[in-house]
Structure formats: C-alpha cells, structure tokens
Amino acid sequence: MLCAGKKDLFASTLDKTGCNRMMLAAGAWSGLLTLNYHRIGEPGATLFDRELWSATLENFEQQVIFLKTHFDLIGPDDLYDVLQSDRGRFAMITFDDGYRDNYELAFPTLQDLNVPATFFLSTGFLDHPRVPWWDEISWIIRSSSCPFIHIEGWVDNPIQITAATENDSPDTPSPIDAAVHQLLRLYKSLSIEQTEPFLNQLGETCGTGRAPESVADELWMTWDMVREMRDAGMFFGGHTVQHPILASLPPEGQDREIGECARRLEEELGERCATFSYPVGRPETFDEVTRACLIEHGFQWSFSYYGGYQKSGPADNLNLPRTPVEIDMDLSRIHSIAALPQLFA
C-alpha cells in the first residue's frame, strides 16, 4: 500500500509522462468509479471540522470537467443497468450529509456542466438544524482558550490544543488539527450511550460548553433547495436521520434511523429513494441488521466509504465502494484515480 505522499509523487509522475492519459484512452479497467465529496469551498478559519472540505470550487469544477470528458456520469436510475453490464467505464459523483454549500457552490457548477450528482441526506439535519458531532468536536476544541486539556476518564494524557507556531513543520498537522483528529477517532469508537457524556465532558473541560444550536443556522440545505436541485436533474438518497454509526445501535435503533429517513425523503420528494450511504462507511459501521433494515425500507443500493471501485461483474448491492476526494488532492491524483483505480481509488 502506498502512503499518501508517495501516491502524490507517483500520481504526478504518471501525469507528466502521459501514462494516465494513455491508460484512460486504452480503457485499462471497466466498472463503476464512485467519488465522494462532503463540502465544497474554502475551509479558511472555520471552527468546524476542516477535514470535511473535499475541494475548492475551482478544483471541483476542473474535476467535474475531467470526469465528464472521460466517463459516462450516471445517477441511481442507471445503477441497475450499469451493474449488470460487463463492459464500459462509468463514474458517479456523490455527496454525503446535506451541507448547504452543496446547493450554493456545487449545484450551480453541476448544472452549468449538465452533470448529475447524487446527494445522500441525513434528514434530521434538514428538519432540525443542529451541529453534528464531528463539527461540534472541532468547534469545542477551536473555541477553547485552554492550551492543554485533560479529558479525564476518556483520554489518558493531556492533549495540546494550540495553533501551529513558526517552529512547527508545515508538513505535519498543527497540534490543534491533530487534537481534533484524535478526538474524532475516539468518538467513532464509543458506544451510543457514551457519546453524549463524552461531548458534555469535552465542552466542560474546554471551558466552552456544548455548541449552541444557532451555530447550525445556515449549515444545512432546506427541503426547498433539495426539491429545486431534484427538479434540475440531481438525485437524492438516504444517510439516516441523525448520522449515528449504525452498527453501534440496537436493531430497533437501526430500524428507526433507516425507516424514518426513508419516510421523510418520500414525504418531501414525493417518491421513494432507492439509494443509501452508510454514515462513516467503514466495514465495521454496518452489519447484517443494517442490511435487513435497508431492504425492509425499500433501499436497493447502499454505498460504503473505505475506498475502491466496483469492477464489472457481480456486485454486492449493499456495499458499493466509494473513494473519497480530499481537498489536498491535486488534479493529477484525480487523473490517477480515474486511470488506475486498482491502485489509487
């Protein structure tokens, strides 16, 4: 497995030597490549989770133009035929969560270029806007004036939460970015009963308290925006109600999160949605109960989020792979993902 730095170097070499272009033209693979985005734009000095920004608007535009040139870009309506087909190279652009910049920035670009994308919504964020756990962890840490925090009972050692200084290498994350990353990882390992006590104690330790609801006022799309996008050719799917890690819930909790999400989408869009994406999306975040609930509530396809692409041939419809697009990827990385997903996706 290549590390990120070596991947960048290799990707730019493949680009410069014309190998990516050659492999794309030769059709070195067939199947479905699904890219996943979260937020578009510039994170700047945001207090929210900066890892959620997938591309600047300019880079997103370049990526969509490139994808449109080299792929048949599809939506969920084409999945059945594409997954049956043993030839052809297809790509799907997807977004998770339902952030408002998807409407304000990504949608106009997609519309101008006449390209479909699929947006997976956590319906509870649209219905009752609030700060999700990953943004809240980042908000608490970045709003704190403490240089160090010790979250007793949860983390063994004190954690430094200061911004980078001139002495820090620009190649390593600043202490505050590393702290956010560490606490997000910790949160993902908690059981559902532990999550609220953890956030309460984090807010108390940092001296900020929990993030106020008003912070989320313009964070999410509204249902009117969703309908406008749908009417312009965009697609929507489910991503639960409150974005829990499904496998950490008891069966009735999973059923509620999936069933209520399906119901709200149908109520607002006037039709059932057949596609879903798992919150967090790693293999351990969904299980057999999740699959049974999806089928029960009418979802036919579900996307994971731990890399890879779907080769032509038999597919697991409830574990379709997706590869993340991240803000530090340059265009040569995107070219390499498209030319050689076996290595880069």
Minimum distance, C-beta of residue 107 to Zn ion, in the bound complex (Å): 18
Rounded to a whole number of angstroms, the minimum distance from the CB of residue 279 to Zn ion is 5
Is residue 143 a contact partner of residue 47, using CB atoms and an 8 Å limit?
yes
Q: How far is the CB of 287 from Zn ion (least distance, A)?
A: 18
Closest CA to 39 of 107, 138, 91: 107
Residues 8-47 that bind Zn ion (CB under 5 A): none
Whether residue 281 contacts residue 322, with contact meaning beta carbons closer than 8 Å, is answered with yes
Q: What is the DSSP string of 258-299?
A: HHHHHHHHHHHHSS---EEE-SS--GGG--HHHHHHHHHTT-
Give the binding range for Zn ion (CB under 5 A) out of 93-101, 105-113, 158-166, 266-274.
Answer: 93-101
- CB of 99 or CB of 309, closer to Zn ion: 99
Count the residues of the shown chain that bind Zn ion, applying the rule CB under 5 A.
Answer: 3
Contact string 124-163 vs Zn ion (x = CB under 5 A): ----------------------------------------
Contact between 274 and 294 (Cβ < 8 Å)? no
- Identify which of residues 97 and 260 has a Cβ nearer to Zn ion in the complex: 97
Residue 42, C-beta contacts closer than 8 angstroms, at least 6 positions apart: 53, 56
Residue indicated by tokens 């109520």 = 267
Least Å distance between CB 37 and Zn ion? 11
Choose between 38 and 335: whose C-beta lies nearer to Zn ion: 38
Yes or no: say if 265 and 273 are a contact pair by the CB < 8 Å rule.
yes
257 binds Zn ion (CB under 5 A): no
| Residue from 15, 97, 101, 135 binding Zn ion (CB under 5 A) | 97
* Minimal CB distance residue for Zn ion: 96
Please, what is the minimum distance in Å from the beta carbon of residue 305 to Zn ion?
Answer: 8
The yes or no reply on residue 96 touching Zn ion (CB under 5 A) is yes
Nearest-angstrom CA–CA distance, 20 and 184: 35
Instruction: Report, in Å, the least distance between residue 243 CB and Zn ion.
Output: 6
User: CA 76, 58, 280: angle at the middle one, nearest 5?
Assistant: 45
Residues that bind Zn ion (CB under 5 A): 96-97, 279
